[in-house]
Structure 1
Amino acid sequence: MKWFYILIVFFSLTVDAQILNHKKEFTRQDSLRGSNNEFRNWWNVLHYDIQVEPDFEKRFIKGKNAIQFEITENLSREIIQIDLQEPMNLGKVKLDDVEINSQNIRREGNVYFIKTDKKWKTNSKHILELEFSGNPRVAVQPPWDGGWIFEQDAKGRPFMSVACQGLGASVWFPNKDYQGDEPDLGAKLSMIVPEDLIAIGNGKLVDMNQIDDKLEFVWEVKNPINNYNIIPYIGHYTEIKDAYKGEKGELSLNYWVLDYNREKAEKQFEQTKPMLKSFEKWFGPYPFYEGGYKLVEAPHLGMEHQSAIAYGNHFENGYLGRDLSSSGWGLKWDFILVHESGHEWFGNNITTQDVADMWVHESFTAYSETLHTQELFGIEAGNDYVIGTRMNILNDIPMIGIYGVNQEGSGDIYYKGANMIHTFRHLLEDDDLFLRILRGLNEKFYHQTVTTKQIEDYMSQMSKIDLTEFFNQYLRTTLVPTLEYKIKGDEITYRWTNIVEKFDMPVKVANSDQWLFPTADWKTEKLKSGTEKGFKIDRNFYVKSVKKD
């Protein structure tokens, strides 16, 4: 029991969970970070051009970021908010090549307010150049605790990266740290490192330059990208090249691992192509053919960095050798490779505007594990896996968090969310339609930021089922629908309890084609012959049942 509790706590603080330390009270800093406020909502980021030079020994970084942005509203606004977390410092600031006087730059905690006398015009484009430097927050236990990572590899050599989902990219470079505004035209990341090191970034390597006794590696993404996904990886890497013939043609596969792990990686990463085949079937084409697909060995467990997945699962199956479902199926594939890659569709292609809606990222991605298991080993294996993960569900707080303050909901966004989607799938009783809905989500909201309402409405529209109470039940409460029932002869009397108002989801009887249509009121009907003994609800529905005397 103790081991099980430790596992739940460990996984609840999983690879994306730096903001799962839930607050009960919020400050102005939380609102500035989590809301699209009056200092942000009139300009749209088009592109980031970031340069960084780390000093491994001093745990110090310096660099600059040129933000190209567009004015979206014709408003008389003087103040621009730029996020940069303490103890990092902002240096020289230029707007359209004109330096801003330091007297017009004011710091408030993790935010800088920049005052300008610019006369903004709708649709006009501008460039804000920001120099930065300092000793960034160092991650103590990445990726659960975020920040820069200054580690040594097994040979005692520098091994650096960043993990900052939730905490925010402003932990190391100045930006508009709001999840609802991705740079529409992508980002460029230049890293200046000692010439014995290799620096990897998102997208494609577009340039390399010798700068004295150092090398500059320039990587570029041409698609929209979450700020927290823009990540440097610096170490003694070797590259393994491959390609996958996918739905949109040839997709480049590049695996960057520490030089002494090449042989392990060549074997373990053979799982990539079957994973891509599963996900392209269920979710549609890989969303970033332009940037390619990369797995990059990282000094932490893993993270869904777009087109450059952070990998640290020791080249073994399961989650650090564990099966999170206890079904046995979770040891048949590499959890980090599969789960973090699933985020390329849900999290990177489709991104929520507010982290309160992160169930969209995590629930669908957690369910990707089930779909991949099904593709490899059959539908009952997939069912076994997702049902097995129910032991990780806490039902502590709702899955939807608090809006406008950078606050996620429960860690149940993983496996309660996956079981909610599994229930929806079996409610449909039509896997072709379920597949069209999953692929349709990735097509309709391709490279977009969304709200939970958009996702809920789309699923209702496509399924032709009003899912209002379904989502209210599973997303907005901790209540598990409970079927109370009595059996007398061949008749069953039943009703829903532990439900939101108007919840009336039908459920299927196990080992039968009979459906029950419970509401909050008692109703009676005949059971099909043979089902009255050992009566059960189909296990694929995430509900409870209680027999009443």
Structure 2
Amino acid sequence: MQNKLLFVGLLVSLFLSVNLEAQVVGSNHTTYTEADTLRGSLRPERSNYDVTKYHLDLKVNPEARSIAGSNTIHFKVLGSLPVMQLDLFENMQIDSIVYQNANLEYTRKYNAVFVNFEEALKEKTSDSIKFYYHGNPVVAKNAPWDGGFVWDTDEDGNPWVGVAVQGTGASLWYPNKDHQSDEPDAAQIDIAVPNGLINVSNGRFTGKEELKDGYTKWKWAVKSPINNYNIMINIGNYTHFSDKFKDLDLDYYVLPYNLEKAKEQFEEVQDMMACFYEKMGPYPFEEDGFKLVETPYLGMEHQSAVAYGNKYMKGYLGNDLSGTGIGLLWDYIIIHESGHEWYGNSITAKDIADMWIQEGFTSYTESIYVECRWGKEKAQEYLKGTRRGISNNNTIIGDYGVNSEGSGDMYFKGANLLNTIRGIYNDDELWWNTLRDYTSTYRHKTITTEDTEAFFDKATNVDLKPVFDQYLRHSALPILQLKQGDDHFQYRWKADVINFSMPVDVFIDEEEIRLDATSDWQRMETGEELDEVILNDLEFYVRVYKIK
């Protein structure tokens, strides 16, 4: 039995390293191309306008694996705009780009499209262009870990289509300003699909139109700011059922033969919403409602239309990412992907290098849910268990301006960093108030790591700057060094950050004691041996090195 458990543990560790790392699209590049810069940087061709709305009007042909139609792009001009950069993968064909009933000239470079206006658009004006295109978008090899379309069939042989493009980019399938710093304030998504199928997109369903060519157009409207990669289509032979939480509409779209399983599994949404409302504040997109949509891939945080493919199992496809057993008490995809509605969809990193703001906080929402249901100790045990999926080999923050994410440690190391900061606060009321204030302050905003650091630092008298710096911008954990003396021990931090300091809690003879440790040796009077000095590792994620 022991060898079998060890084998299972090794398999799950491999599962963790492959799956979590694979979700990180651009991690830890050391060299970058011009294509990376065109995608990741903000130059006047991008920064001199702000998108206010996308209106997608497309026909999807599952048999040909093709899409065709237009995107009307509404925008405000922030500075003189003779040339506008949009983004569309170079394998997609441009039919025309129309402005005031005339075709505009354009040039293409890699996945960037440079649109030339005859006269520069003037600052403080509002305008729009209509971008016609068609093609066969990139097919995902293993969604959602690599971007693209998923052309599948359900058990009854009906077409079943999904898309997942986070990191790879929404420009894989529609023209847009493909940078996280600019979210349209609204979106209209009109998708025509073969008769007998349904398309489910973000926001509210506004009606359908039966076309005369064997297709039906399904119309959806989004009234909230939305990330480009969250704008989504889900095509299938769906059946629909609904529920409510307080004033929030809950809608579910699943395959007919999974209806009864879905009704039972999705009851967990009630407990989740009750927990998240209490700990993080109200659902950020009440005007657009909340949906779970069954997909032919595992899941994604598509705003107000969360993709669900966990096969109606507890855990992560029946696995516990923490190895504690706690992760098998709840449906990982429901909780994690819905947690992104607060962190990732409502609060979004301006640059993909700061994706830990989205993934670290959302991984922490898993423990929030556990705490609501099973208590604080279980939540912290779960977080401690997830540390087995942390490599501490590369930095959480990526390189700015080149569309580069940091390492996969942004997930569970980011969550354990937040738990450590909660331990530093040493005041749960302060912690939850600060988290709710953070969620409210930056609702529907794009922000930076510096914004997050400053917010949580301001709430406490402890200087958190060296803590954030060590965990986010260096790969190694800080090491608490303990050295034995006569009737005392000495302690200090060894870290990459110069003059690193951070309070930390240890147990001595079962009494919890706070050490205000710095980079300099300090002395603690005690008759206990070093073996009796035990780190409170449920609250602090650090290394300990004892010198005897």
CA RMSD of superposed structures (Å): 1.4
Which of 363, 366, 371 matches 2:368?
371
Counterpart of 1:34? 40
Distance 2:256 2:27 in 1: 36
Distance 2:292 2:314 in 1: 15
Does the CA contact (< 8 Å) of 1:278 and 1:375 recur in 2?
A: yes
Which AA in structure 2 matches 1:159? Answer: W
Shift of 1:533: 5.3
User: Are 2:13 and 1:12 aligned?
Assistant: no
SS at match of 2:151: strand
User: Are 2:516 and 1:512 aligned?
Assistant: no
**Residues 116-142 of structure 1, C-alpha deviations (whole Å, 9 max, x = no match):** 123422221101100010111011111
Which AA in structure 1 matches 2:30? Answer: K
User: Are 2:152 and 1:151 aligned?
Assistant: yes
Counterpart of 1:522? 521
Shift of 1:89: 1.4
Matches within 5 A, 1:210-249: 210-212=210-212, 213-245=214-246
Distance 1:21 1:96 in 2: 42
User: Are 2:431 and 1:434 aligned?
Assistant: yes
Q: Which moved more, 1:113-122 or 1:352-361?
A: 113-122
Shift of 1:517: 1.7
Distance 1:379 1:490 in 2: 35
Counterpart of 1:537? 535
Does the CA contact (< 8 Å) of 2:28 and 2:398 recur in 1?
A: no
Counterpart of 2:406? 409
Which AA in structure 1 matches 2:223? Answer: K
Counterpart of 1:188? 188
SS at match of 1:514: strand
Which AA in structure 2 matches 1:180? Answer: S
Matches within 5 A, 1:39-188: 39-73=45-79, 75=80, 77-100=81-104, 104-184=105-185, 186-188=186-188
Counterpart of 1:207? 207
* TM-score normalised by length of structure 1: 0.95
Does the CA contact (< 8 Å) of 1:238 and 1:257 recur in 2?
A: yes
* TM-score normalised by length of structure 2: 0.95
**Residues 467-486 of structure 1, C-alpha deviations (whole Å, 9 max, x = no match):** 11111100000121111112
SS at match of 1:290: helix
Q: Which moved more, 1:215-224 or 1:482-491?
A: 482-491
Distance 2:441 2:485 in 1: 49
SS at match of 1:254: strand
Which AA in structure 2 matches 1:425? Answer: R
Distance 1:280 1:489 in 2: 52
Shift of 1:384: 0.6
Shift of 1:244: 0.4
Which AA in structure 1 matches 2:18? Answer: F
Distance 2:120 2:141 in 1: 45
Shift of 1:18: 5.1
Shift of 1:489: 5.0
Does the CA contact (< 8 Å) of 1:207 and 1:218 recur in 2?
A: yes
User: Are 2:456 and 1:470 aligned?
Assistant: no
Which of 272, 282, 286 matches 1:285?
282
Shift of 1:497: 1.3
User: Are 2:480 and 1:479 aligned?
Assistant: no
Shift of 1:20: 4.2
Shift of 1:22: 4.0
Distance 1:282 1:530 in 2: 40
Distance 1:114-1:8 versus aligned 2 partners, 3 A rule: same
Distance 1:470 1:525 in 2: 23
Which AA in structure 1 matches 2:88? Answer: L
Does the CA contact (< 8 Å) of 1:105 and 1:115 recur in 2?
A: yes
Does the CA contact (< 8 Å) of 1:490 and 1:532 recur in 2?
A: no
Counterpart of 2:495? 498
Which AA in structure 2 matches 1:536? Answer: I
Distance 2:433 2:493 in 1: 30
Shift of 1:360: 0.3
Does the CA contact (< 8 Å) of 2:24 and 2:405 recur in 1?
A: no
SS at match of 1:525: strand
Shift of 1:466: 2.1
| Percent of aligned positions that are identical | 40
Unaligned runs of 5+ in 1: none
Which AA in structure 1 matches 2:318? Answer: G
Distance 1:531-1:316 versus aligned 2 partners, 3 A rule: farther
Distance 1:22-1:55 versus aligned 2 partners, 3 A rule: farther
Distance 1:425 1:166 in 2: 30
Shift of 1:157: 1.2
Shift of 1:107: 1.2
Does the CA contact (< 8 Å) of 1:20 and 1:411 recur in 2?
A: no
